[in-house]
Amino acid sequence: MLGLSLLSGCLWALAFPLWSFWFVAPLALIPLLYGILAYSQSSKQVFFWTFLTALTAMIPIFSWILPLKTWVPLPYIILLWVVFSAYQALFYSSGLFLWRLLYTKRSDIFFLPVFWCAAELLRSFGPVGSTGGVLGIPMVSCLPVLQLASVFGMFGVSFLVVCVNVWFVYLLTGFHKKVFFWGAGLALVMSLFGFFHLNAIKKEDFSSIKVAIIQGNHSQQEKLNIFSGQSIKKLYLSLSESVIHDYKPDLIVWPETFTPDINLYDSGFVKTLQHLSEKNNLSFLFGTPTLRNGQFFNSAVLLSNKKTVLYDKWKLMPFGEYWPMRALLQKMGVVQVDGTSDFSPGSGATLLKESHFSIAPLICLESVYPAVTRAYMEKNAPDFLVIISNNAWFFNSNAADQHHQFAQFRAVESGRYVVHATNTGISALISPIGKTLAKTHQDERAVLVGRIEKKTGSTGYTFLGESWLYLGILVVAGVYLKRLLPNRV
């Protein structure tokens, strides 16, 4: 059983960057689940083996934590890496423990995807919640399957992937003709939906705008150097002037905190941007720290000659943008924590509007959570999404590739084009079907220019969210209660 558990964990990890063998995701759980059924594992054993499987997967998936050793002592980083991975793994082991506890007959394996996806949803909540490693994410490489996210979201795609694993395991432990044909029929229906959705999106025709992304490619050490701020600004201005001359874009996007300065306090810099905006009839969107009423915010700024509009990030990165358990950490001497370095959360989903377009801005971590994008779509649907991020903290780890995958999901869930601007890559333009239209490489200075369409309307996911999963939980609970109640009469 040990070998089967480790094999499932390795297959799970292989589906993600660093390796991106996406096609193994629908097979990754087969060794674990086959072993559980074939060897009649108890609920406690299921908890242990599932935890081992998930931990084996989570450690390489979250290996982007390791480069933070540049700023924090390596022993603390290793401890954070392992503890965080173990915390995520606990949700999966708890979910399958509960499933095995209630398991009474062979067909109950078909309830397992509900328990699995409920665990994935639950682990996305809270200040240290994460969606990294969700089993459906590798399906960004299979566009027909990815289209299911337009109705059921990222967790719905994960549900389908787990269902495929369960289907194979059920057939391996005892072939059943009806189950075989039901599974094959469902796969056909899902494929037809995916291909239909791909073609339906292509036929739409909306007004477009030309967008340019500036990827400055500055290391975090360079950005934190107090003498580098002006030279970084000059470079971004120079690259912007070149792209204006060559391409005449409507919108130029720079990444999150392109410098850590309070850039709006630099009146000369602001006036230069306003002049370029007025002269060339365009807008700038960039990330910068802002200071208002004694509070620091991680902000996105939409600037033109006519106005300056701000959005403040409200889903903050723990231990990066604010410090939970501050007093305890100071006593432990883990890091010197200065209270003034904390960012304050913004007020929520706020559109950035210009006269001829509206933008849903997401700053870095916010693009990891489907609920953040959905909040924009429910509130006041934007024309397109802009994600700005700074992956320089993580060097050339798997963080950038994972971030790009999340951006693809947000495009499909919202039915909007996504402009993803980063400091060190990967920057990209993504269509509403999740297709990457153009992208940069990591660790290169680059300019990316392309046209995106302004979209209207809403997707099924905007209305449904995860309600399908809540319904599934209620159905499963009802089935088990019905079994239990007669025994209590």
Domains present along the chain, CATH in parentheses: 2-202+465-488 (no CATH), 207-458 (3.60.110.10)
Helices 149-172 & 112-122, crossing angle to 10 degrees? 130
Q: How many CB atoms lie within 10 A of CB 470?
A: 12
Identify the helix (H) or strand (E) that includes residue 51.
helix 43-61
Chain Cα centroid distance, residue 484: 39
Long-range CB pairs of 240-249, under 8 A, 24+ apart, other chains included: 240/212, 240/214, 240/276, 240/284, 241/276, 242/447, 243/212, 243/214, 243/447, 243/449, 244/276, 244/280, 244/282, 247/210, 247/212, 247/449, 248/210, 248/280, 248/282, 249/210, 249/211, 249/212, 249/282, 249/449
Q: Strands, DSSP E only, in 258-369?
A: 283-292, 295-303, 308-312, 352-354, 357-363
pLDDT in tens, the chain (489 residues): 999 999 999 999 999 998 999 999 999 999 999 999 988 899 999 999 999 999 999 999 999 999 988 888 899 899 999 999 999 999 999 999 999 999 888 888 899 999 999 999 999 998 889 999 999 999 999 999 999 999 999 999 999 999 999 999 988 888 677 777 777 787 788 778 888 888 876 545 558 899 999 999 999 999 988 888 999 999 999 999 999 999 999 999 999 999 999 999 999 999 999 999 999 999 999 999 999 988 999 999 999 988 899 999 998 887 677 776 666 666 666 555 444 468 888 888 889 999 889 999 999 999 999 999 999 998 778 999 999 999 998 988 999 999 999 999 999 999 999 999 999 989 999 999 999 999 999 999 999 999 999 998 889 999 999 999 999 999 999 988 888 776 554
Rounded Cα gap, residues 59 and 77, in angstroms: 13
Contact present, 428 and 435 (Cβ < 8 Å): no
Characterize the bridge pairing of strands 384-389 and 357-363. Answer: parallel
Please report, for residues 48, 208, 360, 455, the alpha-carbon distance to residue 204 in angstroms, rounded to integers and kept in the order given.
Answer: 50, 12, 21, 9
Please report, for residues 217, 257, 285, 442, the alpha-carbon distance to residue 228 in angstroms, rounded to integers and kept in the order given.
Answer: 13, 13, 21, 21
Q: And the tokens for 171?
A: 């057939």
